[in-house]
Amino acid sequence: MSRRLPGADDDGPVAELVRRRRGGELSDLDRLLLHSPPVAEGWNALLGALRSGTTLAADLRELVVLRIAVLNDAAFEWAAHEPIARRAGLTEAQLAALRRPDAAGEWTAVQAAVLAFTDASTRDVAVPDAVFAAAREHLDDRQVVELTALVGGYAMVSRFLVALQVPPPPGEVSG
């Protein structure tokens, strides 16, 4: 649990909504969010949509999440998503590349474009025209919106985790 706040009571209708999305279990992150049920409910809806309601390929989604975890030093986020990224097809070499400052590695053209977009948006907020155009070569209008929301959403997650000093679960891979 967070070194800054204890977990909230984990019963009630919002906790049940979160449990349903999570397959029955609450994370330490969820228990912190439950201090504010309206925030937890909105978070649950947004992150549920980002995780399972977009048309972005799973490897792209997890590449974004893990890169943000690295850039914002969110070990909990990395630990939670590395196994998902592996199941989505990211290789050992790609996972290692995500941890490097330049993320140089073996990427498909769409992965490289999404990674450059993620880096620009996370590091500088503004996405240069050339970076946007490269992503646009591979993504339709909906996917550009979904990518932008995914980057912003997981930047929010990482900032929450880091500000409240939420450590990765014991025994999990950390990054």
Which pLDDT tens digits describe the chain residue by residue (175 residues)?
A: 678 999 999 999 999 999 999 899 999 999 999 999 999 999 999 999 999 999 999 999 999 999 999 999 999 999 999 999 999 999 999 999 999 999 999 999 999 999 999 999 999 999 999 999 999 999 999 999 999 999 999 999 999 999 999 999 875 443 3
3-state class (DSSP) for residue 84: helix
Q: State the pLDDT at residue 79.
A: 95
Name the helix (H) or strand (E) containing 79: helix 75-87
**Which CATH superfamily is 58-163 part of?**
AhpD-like (1.20.1290.10)
- Phi, psi values for residue 101, rounded to 5°: -55, -40
End-to-end CA distance of the chain: 17
Structural domain boundaries of the chain? 13-52, 58-163
CA distance 51 to 29: 16
Q: State the pLDDT at residue 3.
A: 80
- Closest by CA position to 8, among listed 34, 26, 44: 34
Look at the pTM and tell me if it is higher than 0.75.
Answer: yes
Q: State the pLDDT at residue 171.
A: 59
Residue 150 half-sphere exposure toward CB, CA atoms < 13 A: 30
